[in-house]
Amino acid sequence: MTSMLNVKDLRAYYGQVQALHGLNFQLNEGSLTTLLGANGAGKTTTLRAICNMVRSTGAIEFEGKPIGTRSTENVVRLGIAHVPQGRGTFTTMTVEENLQLGAISRSDKKNIVADIERMYDHFPVLKQRYTQQAGTLSGGEQQMLAVARALMLRPRLMLLDEPSFGLAPLIVRDLFRILGKINREEKVTILVVEQNAQLALELADQAYVIETGRIVMSGNAKDIANNEDVRKSYLGY
Amino acid sequence: MELFANQVLAGIATGAIYACMALAVVMIYQAIDHLNFAQGEMAMFSTFVSWQLMQWGIPYWGAFVLTVAFSFAAGIAIERLLFKPLAKAPILTNVAGFIALYAIINSVAGLIWDFTIKQYPTPFGSSPFLGSQLISTHQAGMIGITLLMLVMLFFFFRFTRVGLAMRAAASLPESARLVGINTSWMIALGWGMAAAIGSVAGMMIAPVVFLEPNMMLGVLIYGFAAAVLGGLTSPFGAVMGGFLVGIFENLVGTYIPGVGNELKLPIALALIITVLVVKPAGLFGRPIVKRV
């Protein structure tokens, strides 16, 4: 398996405060990787550093190209879709406009309409509401919309920041099932940051555990799930 | 009753001036979330440029098109050179920048073209419109141009990808960057469009108020009043606000004794304050609702 994203010695700063202390990790092409950790461990910062939304040093390579100095929008244009914490929904716009915005940097305009239809297949609930203002959707629907918006980029890599946050358990299951399907069928490499470690480990094939800005454990998701320390700290049994 | 109807009609005619200016005000507010105090001066400068072009023998509509193009480019240049470096600065720094720009443009215009009042032509003529003494063909033409710009803006924002990207950049910059929108250029584009709309406003207003470096002083305050009344987030509201301010101003002047021409400007300011207190989002603006 080839490595798609390679992160070396990543350090990130908020003003004077250092949030990441030299992270090293890599994502294999086609993999579904989860990044686990407690509150404040640096999970969100890691995703933000990849998209250059926070001051950072170190080397980030995407498909062999260094991307550390690119602006956020130019990182995204390489095919890295980022579903931020809080979903980043354009609440005053319609569902359909949100989907069109997901594809706004694409030049193949012809295929966009077909892609919107494809999203409605993945997420039928969005089809019923396509003229509705996105802000009026429920939390679960907004998360579906955020994932659909990210997919409209036709990304090679998708970064998700706590997609389960604030959602009912049944909806989380549904969402994770769809993420697995997207990973397998559309060959999108996925990095998902999660506090819901149990579900994330069931879904993922690779896992990293992060503590106070450092990777403390990495490996196969099954092995991590069976690790005693992880079970006690993150799975609670 | 006839007096009332006549005053309303006359109000609509002057309101067209405010509507035109308010459209430019709303445009820049959408892009940068601030009111640009130099907006009127930028429009005045553009109008002088068109006047100069006509002095050099270029016909009206040729000068019109060249001026709109020049203003669009100049608006972008002002943003890139002066306000992009201030993007992360506090609001007050930006306000100081607007005031500096105001003073600079005003002085430079005075330096180049001096402060004497100049006649400015109208392409629509100035005979009575449909036999009415209250509204001239020029004012009717101005209303038509304002409504045309409004329709064009509506289609631009509703049906083009750039328009969609501009709306996204204005409402949620961070999310916009995350779908690959260059938000910094969207702001520059907003400046360019506001300057272009302002130049049209200036060229429409100049035949009424005459051309001189201070021509936009009162107009801009009425433009602000119109934009605030209609709602700073809505181009349609701004235009309606412009007409309403014009009508309101005329009716108050007619029916309330003691309010002559001298007290008309305070009325605009009183209107701004009243709207901000009673209905901050304006008549047609979208109230900002936050989930807590």
For the residues B181-198, what does the mean pLDDT come to?
Answer: 94
Instruction: Collect all residues from A whose CB is shorter than 8 A from any CB in B.
Output: 51, 53, 71-74, 76-77, 81-82, 84, 88-90, 92-93, 97, 100-102, 104-105, 149, 153
The tally of CA atoms less than 13 A away on the side-chain side of residue A89 is 26
Size of interface A-B (CB pairs under 8 A): 60
Which residues in A lie closer than 8 A to residue B174 (C-beta atoms)?
A: 53, 84, 88
Cβ contact (<8 Å) for A72 and B161? no
CA closest to A72 among chain B residues: B177
Answer whether B168 sits within 8 Å of A53, measured CB to CB: no
Query: Residue A1: what pLDDT?
Result: 61
Taking contacts as CB-CB distances below 8 angstroms, the residues of chain A near B164 are: 97, 100-101, 104
pLDDT value of position B130: 76
Cβ–Cβ below 8 Å for B177 and A97: no
Closest CA to B82 of B96, B70, B92: B96
Longest dimension (CA), chain A: 52
* pLDDT tens digits, one per residue of B22-33: 999 998 888 888
Min Cα separation B77/chain A (Å):
22
**Secondary structure class of A151 (helix, strand, coil):** helix
Which strands, in side-by-side order, build the sheet including A65-66? A17-28, A3-14, A55-62, A65-66
For residues A187 and A156, give the distance between their C-alpha atoms in angstroms, rounded to a whole number. 8
Which residue of A76, A92, A97 is in closest CB contact with B178? A76
Query: Which pLDDT band holds residue B234 (cuts at 50, 70, 90)?
Result: confident
Q: Using pLDDT thresholds of 50, 70 and 90, give the confidence band for residue B261.
A: low
Per DSSP, helices labelled H in chain A are: 43-50, 72-77, 95-102, 110-122, 124-128, 139-151, 169-185, 197-203, 221-226, 228-230
Distance CA B182, CA B169 (A): 8
pLDDT tens digits, residue range A79-101?
999 999 888 899 989 999 999 99
Cβ proximity of B184 and B165 under 8 Å:
no
For residue A148, give how far its alpha carbon lies from the nearest alpha carbon of chain B (Å): 12
Predicted confidence (pLDDT) per residue in B201-233, tens digit: 999 999 988 899 999 988 898 899 999 998 888
Could you tell me the pLDDT band of residue A186, with boundaries at 50, 70 and 90? Answer: confident
Mutation target among A72, A76, A101, A157 for the B interface, most CBs of B within 10 A? A101
* pLDDT confidence tier of residue B290, bands split at 50, 70 and 90: low
The pLDDT of residue B292 is 46
Output the pTM of the full model: 0.86
Which of the residue ranges A20-29, A114-123, B40-49, B271-280 would you say has the lowest mean pLDDT? B271-280
Chain position carrying tokens 């020029």: B138
Q: Residue A175 is encoded by which pair of tokens? A: 């969402």
Task: For the beta carbon of residue A106, count every other beta carbon within 10 angstroms.
Answer: 16
- Among chain A residues, CA nearest to B179: A102
Measured CB to CB, residues of chain B less than 8 Å from chain A are 161, 164-165, 167-168, 171-172, 174-183, 286
Closest CA in chain B for residue A147: B179
Q: Do A82 and B171 touch (CB under 8 A)?
A: no
**At A237, is the pLDDT very low, low, confident or very high (cuts 50, 70, 90)?**
low
Q: What is the pLDDT of residues B89-135, one digit of tens each?
A: 888 998 999 999 999 999 999 999 999 999 999 988 878 877 777 78
Res A150 pLDDT > 90: yes
A71, A92, A104: residue with CB nearest B179? A104
* A73/B177 CB distance under 8 A: yes
In contact, B195 and B189? CB cutoff 8 Å: no
Nearest to A174 by CA among A124, A102, A103: A124
Q: What is the DSSP string of A68-103?
A: TTS-HHHHHHTTEEEE-TTTT--TTSBHHHHHHHHT
| Residue B71: exposure state from Cβ atoms within 10 A (0-12, 13-18, ≥19) | buried
Residue A90 to residue B182, Cβ atoms within 8 A: no
Interface contact B164-A104, CB threshold 8 A: yes
DSSP letters spanning B100-159: HHHHHHHHHHHHHH-SS-B----TT--SEETTEEEEEHHHHHHHHHHHHHHHHHHHHHHH
pLDDT of residue A165: 87
pLDDT recorded at residue B288: 59
Contact B178 A89 (CB under 8 A): no
- Which residues neighbour B28 within 8 Å (Cβ) at sequence distance 6 or greater? B34, B35, B36, B39, B190, B191, B194
Q: Collapse the DSSP code of A104 into the 3-class scheme (helix H, G, I; strand E, B; otherwise coil) and give the result.
A: coil
Measure the CA angle with vertex A108, ends B181 and B27; round to 5°.
35
> Are A88 and B178 in contact (CB < 8 Å)?
yes
Output the six-digit token pair for B261: 């021409």
* A132: DSSP letter: S
Per-residue confidence (pLDDT) for residue B263, from 0 to 100: 73
∠ Cα B7 B13 B15 (to 5°): 95
Task: Give A134's contacts (C-beta < 8 A, 6+ positions apart).
Answer: A89, A90, A91, A92, A93, A94, A95, A97, A98, A142, A145
Cross-chain residue pair A89–B175, CB shorter than 8 Å: yes
> Mind listing the pLDDT tens digit for each residue in B123-180?
888 788 777 777 888 888 999 999 999 999 999 988 999 999 999 998 889 999 999 9
Q: Between helices B137-159 and B183-209, what is the axis angle to 10°?
A: 170
- Which among B224, B227, B198, B222 has a CA at the least distance from the CA of B285? B227
Amino acid at B189: L
